[in-house]
């Protein structure tokens, strides 16, 4: 027969084990819930036939994929990009598709603006959309080429453009539209497309990685303001992203961990409404992020260096 001391020790061990395992089990369940049981709330941001979603970087890639999904849900669209011809093609593609629920989502506007230019008149931008019922802002524009030179060998003009494109443009656009989003008498939404480069920097991507890390902290701070301090109706999600097939041709094929931009757009829509600020729309990206910390910084960094070198060879 076990003694009282042995029973007490067994109970304590069970309690400690439960305290350790339960949070992990809950995290695992919450993770699986996003991709199995969760139902998107994005359609709830269509408040009238005049509700618009503004999507930056919408001429191709993830932005185009998200725009197609939003149109299917009944949103009117403002498509932003620097290439008017590409934007017009996406506009025609959207207008050629069936209307969203209740026949909504058939007006598409185009906003041609180089997001890498520093001298944007933001007051004029605010006036341009002040009479439009924007209920969803998608900060998607961004990107960088595969780099072969270290940071100090890249021109200041080039790295400044990267910072402007990936950090300052969404920063300023959100600053411009946030008062309008907050003033609505119904819930509004800001989606910001991130990059794992902000957490695990690829080699020679110092400017890009820093920009994405900045963007994640920016969304975090805004979420605290809107949710806990101002208690506004503005909802924020940071869509953390790894590799997605894009139009640049650097990534040449899809895989379980490399979705097409259309597949990623569909997954991003499904993730809206989860009880997390930062969410991985693509399940494989979330699994990668969960596994990498177990490998340690040294191995993770070596894996990243090799991956970028392999991509550079394929260009």
Active-site residue list: 208
Contact between 308 and 242 (Cβ < 8 Å) = no
Query: Residue 260: which of 119, 65, 5 has the closest Cα?
Result: 65
The continuous run of DSSP H or E covering 169 comes out as: helix 169-183
Query: Residue 95: which of 106, 103, 104, 87 has the closest Cα?
Result: 106
Contact between 68 and 97 (Cβ < 8 Å) = yes
Alpha-carbon span 46 to 73, nearest angstrom: 8
- Contacts of residue 173, Cβ cutoff 8 Å, sequence gap at least 6: 56, 122, 125, 137, 139
Which of the 8 DSSP states describes residue 101? G
Distances (CA, A) of 7 to 15, 17, 18, 145: 12, 15, 16, 62
The alpha carbon of residue 68 and the mean position of all alpha carbons in its chain are separated, in whole angstroms, by 16
Alpha-carbon span 243 to 259, nearest angstrom: 8
- Contacts of residue 28, Cβ cutoff 8 Å, sequence gap at least 6: none
Strands, sheet with 134-139, edge to edge from the N-terminal-most edge strand? 108-112, 76-81, 52-55, 134-139, 188-193, 234-239, 278-279
Alpha-carbon span 110 to 108, nearest angstrom: 7
Query: Residue 66: which of 176, 196, 242, 192 has the closest Cα?
Result: 192
């Amino acid at each position: 027969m076990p003694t009282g001391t042995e029973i007490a020790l067994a109970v304590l061990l069970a309690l400690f084990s439960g305290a350790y395992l339960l949070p992990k089990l809950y995290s695992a369940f919450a993770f699986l819930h996003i991709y199995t049981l969760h139902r998107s709330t994005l359609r709830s941001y269509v408040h009238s036939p005049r509700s618009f979603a503004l999507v930056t970087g919408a001429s191709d890639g993830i932005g185009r994929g998200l725009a197609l999904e939003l149109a299917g849900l009944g949103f009117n669209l403002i498509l932003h990009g620097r290439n008017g011809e590409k934007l017009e093609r996406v506009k025609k593609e959207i207008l050629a598709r069936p209307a969203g629920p209740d026949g909504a989502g058939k007006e598409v506007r185009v906003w041609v603006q180089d997001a890498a230019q520093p001298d944007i008149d933001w007051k004029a931008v605010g006036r341009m959309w002040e009479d439009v019922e924007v209920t969803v802002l998608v900060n998607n524009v961004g990107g960088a080429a595969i780099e072969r030179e270290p940071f100090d060998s890249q021109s200041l003009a080039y790295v400044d453009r990267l910072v402007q494109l990936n950090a300052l443009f969404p920063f300023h656009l959100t600053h411009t539209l946030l008062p309008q989003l907050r003033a609505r008498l119904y819930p509004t939404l800001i989606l910001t497309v991130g990059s794992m480069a902000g957490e695990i920097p690829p080699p020679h991507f110092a400017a890009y990685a820093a920009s994405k890390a900045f963007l994640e902290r920016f969304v975090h701070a805004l979420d605290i303001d809107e949710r806990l301090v101002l208690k506004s109706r503005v909802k924020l999600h940071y869509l953390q992203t790894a590799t997605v097939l894009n139009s640049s041709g650097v990534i040449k094929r899809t895989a379980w961990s490399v979705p097409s931009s259309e597949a990623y757009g569909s997954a991003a829509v499904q993730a809206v409404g989860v009880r997390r600020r930062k969410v991985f729309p693509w399940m494989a990206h979330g699994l990668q992020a969960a596994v990498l910390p177990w490998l340690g910084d040294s191995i993770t960094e070596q894996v990243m260096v090799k991956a970028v070198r392999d991509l550079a060879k394929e260009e």
